[in-house]
Amino acid sequence: WKLSSVLRRLDIMLMVTALRCRNTEDNFQKDFSAFEAAHLGELNAAAGELRRGLVSQYGAVGATRALDRISTGMANQYGQGHPWLGCADLKMVTRSLTLMRGPGALEEAADQLLASEGSGTQLAWARR
């Protein structure tokens, strides 16, 4: 559950912030599309695992409503932007994420990116 929820939240955060940044010089919509293409299998597996967990809790109809509420809540959290990263940072991060392989690497990055506050050392992996 944790991995699926974290990956779903990462995907939604990047989607929402890419939309927010699309009219800036740091538009990263193409980078976001590349991220999703590179990690389609992992993102789909995470979404499926999350849905299965919700179905076991709420049944099929309830799971759809719960997933909609969860996804909307995640999107709303980033509607005003990322709490500590600007568009240029998010563009760099998204490009780095596209190159990562494996759900473990994505989970580690997501844990750092989705934290409510950042620190200078947290994005060291993105600058490698």
Tens digit of pLDDT for each residue in 44-66? 998 999 999 999 999 999 999 99
- How much is the mean pLDDT over the chain? 89
- Read off the pTM: 0.86
Better-scored residue on pLDDT, 100 or 125: 100
Per-residue pLDDT, 12: 95
Gyration radius of the chain's alpha carbons: 15
Which residues neighbour 5 within 8 Å (Cβ) at sequence distance 6 or greater?
46, 50
- Residue 124, pLDDT score: 47
pLDDT band of 118, cuts 50, 70, 90: low
The answer to whether residues 99 and 35 touch, using CB atoms and an 8 Å cutoff, is no
String of b and e for 12-30 (b: at least 16 CB within 10 Å)?
Answer: bbbbbbbebbeeeeeebee
Q: Amino acid identity of 68?
A: D
SS3 content of the chain, % helix, strand, coil (to 5): 75, 0, 25
Tell me what pLDDT residue 117 has. Answer: 67
One-letter amino acid for residue 33 of the chain: S
Mean pLDDT of the 108-122 span: 74
The two structure tokens encoding residue 11: 């995907």
Calpha distance 55→36 (Å, rounded): 25
pLDDT of residue 121: 41
| pLDDT tens profile 5-49 | 899 999 999 999 999 999 999 999 999 999 999 999 999 998 999
